[in-house]
Structure formats: C-alpha cells, structure tokens
Amino acid sequence: MTTVDSAASAGQNSSAGPPVPEHISIWGELGDVAHTLQYVRVQTKEGEVRTRVLQAGTGPELILLHGTGGHLEAYARDIAGLAQDFHVTAYDMVGHGWSALPDRPYTIDVLVDHLIGLMDALGIGQAHLSGESLGGWVVAWAAAHYPERVLRLVLNTPGNIANKPGVMTRMRDSTMAAVRDPSDATVRRRVEFLFHHKDMVTDELVNLRRRVYSQPGFLRAITNTLVLQDPQIRKDYAWDPSWVSKVDAPTLLLWTSHDPTGGLDEAQLLLDWLPDARLHVIQDAGHWPQWEKVGEFLNVHRRWLLTGQDPI
C-alpha cells in the first residue's frame, strides 16, 4: 500500500489555500541554511567584549555590519543567499543587540577597534566588508585605517554624509524615544523610519527590537552610541576627504531612491572623495534595501565582490 504525506500533497495542490508569503519570519529565512550562532570574546583596546556572531556559508570572507541601534537580524533575509557564495559573518556591534554594553562612548574608532578585534578572534585576516548606515561609516573608517584587512567595500545607505544637523537631531530623538519607551507604537515608528514600504514592518521585527531596547543598561548604551549625533563629538570622525581619500579598497556605494538620511547629492560627495568608487541605486526602497529588495541586494553584492564588475 502506498502512503502519501498529506502536508506535502497539500503543498503541491494549488487549491489548498493562499500561497506561502515570501517572508514568514526571521527563523523562516534561516531555516534551510546551516549556520552557527555563538558568543565570541573579542579583545579590544579597552577590554574584552562579549560579542554575538552568526556565520554561514563557504567562500570569500564577507562581514556585514548593521546600523545605529540595530542588530545582526537586519540581514536575516540575506544570509541564506549570500552564504551560497561567501563565508558570511554578521554580528552585533559593541553596545548593540545582545553584545556587551560597556559604559563608554561608542565612537567610530571604538566600533572599528571592535571589528578588527572580532576579525582577529575569528581568524579572519582579510574580508569584504558591507555596512549599512552606521555600519557603512564603520567599514569606511576601517578601510582607511586598516587597509591591509579590507578587500572590497559596500557602503549601504551610509547616511548623512554632509553631517546635516537636522538629520542628526531626528536620528537622535527618534532613537532615544524608542529606547525610553519601548512600546509597540514607539518602536514601530522607529523601525518604519527604515522602510519605504511600511507594510513590510512585521510584528516580529518590532518585538525583537523592543526586546533589545528593554535590556537592562540599554538606555545608557544607546546614549553612548548617539554621541555620534553630537556635532562636537562627530567632527573628529565626520565624513571628510582628509580620511575618505585614504580608502584604497574598491568601493560600491549602494544608495536607494527613498533613503530618508541622504540623497544622491551626498553619494556624489563620496564619488568625488573616494579613489575607486562606483554607485548603484536601488529603486523603490528606503534605508534597508537588504530587507525591501533582497534579490537586487544579493545580485549587487555577488557581482561587485566576486567579479569586481559594476552592478547592472
């Protein structure tokens, strides 16, 4: 007698119900890719930092860095695709996510020191680096100051290259409001800021960030992160040709048509300052193209990092 798995049979039946949504959950995105999630003790100039790290895939080393107040799940929709071609590392930066929250300002040099320490701890000599928002700022600074550790760069919506006070104030105030009051409504507004298509913001994503923001000590940690929105502190690290011009790594500027933190005029500044840079604009997306336009985000990374060719 032949038996048929009823669930499998139903899955093949077009009349069994509506199709499975493209995105179900973060676990659904990672469910069919072998990966490790671990805590790594990273030695930095100011002490040891317990760091949450996710790794998957084989191939050239690729490290992904999230933005202000973020965590490695910012790349949940991309890990499986990138792992087909790269050994991917995503992590929570110091003072972010579930990594340690030491009480000191998380200026760009501190975040870069943590990145280099993580590479040392994981035995990664050189890597491609792709950073979104604050992460883009960090990887650019790393490439300027540790050129021997960086292969190619992707600066993904790095944001506010022109150091506009209004953008700094909006970023600081919206982030502080969400951490002070990690209610659904307040945190949802903060997450929706990242998206052009607000309907893509899921309850899971909001609640995950609510959990992060509700951690003991996180208000102090986000205050230490947001020092970078203080013009007096920011001036020592602000985007400027004096250091940007030292970035020798071939660099892709990944912009979007609806980034709330900076327009194409700011991308042009980087094109003028960087010795070897290209620009690719993803249409119909906001500050998180890695979530809103997964296919194009993956194709751009593969083409640029594997072949060195301009994305189409």
Number of domain units in the chain? 1
* Residue 192 within any structural domain of the chain: no
What secondary structure does DSSP assign to 115-165, as a single string?
HHHHHHHHT-SSEEEEEETHHHHHHHHHHHH-GGGEEEEEEES---TT--H
Q: pLDDT tens string for the chain (312 positions)? A: 334 343 444 444 445 788 988 899 999 999 999 999 999 999 999 999 999 999 999 999 999 999 999 999 999 999 999 999 999 999 999 999 999 999 999 999 999 999 999 999 999 999 999 999 999 999 999 999 999 999 999 999 998 898 888 888 988 999 999 999 999 999 999 999 999 999 999 999 999 999 999 999 999 999 999 999 999 999 999 999 999 999 999 999 999 999 999 899 999 999 999 999 999 999 999 999 999 999 999 999 999 999 988 766
Integer angstrom CA distances of residue 273 from 136, 244, 283: 15, 6, 24
Beta strands across the sheet bearing 47-56: 35-44, 47-56, 87-91, 61-65, 127-132, 150-156, 251-256, 277-282
* Residue 213 within any structural domain of the chain: no
Closest to 45 in 3D by CA, of 96, 111, 103, 93: 111
Tokens 């020092």 locate to 227
Give this prediction's pTM.
Answer: 0.93
Closest to 155 in 3D by CA, of 280, 32, 43, 70: 280
Q: Domain holding 50: CATH number?
A: 3.40.50.1820
Classify 196 as helix, strand or coil.
Answer: coil
| pLDDT of the residue at 252 | 97
* Residue 50 within any structural domain of the chain: yes
| pLDDT of the residue at 312 | 63
| pLDDT of the residue at 310 | 72
Rg (CA), the chain: 20
Which domain covers residue 302, as residue numbers?
25-164+241-307
* Residue 248 within any structural domain of the chain: yes
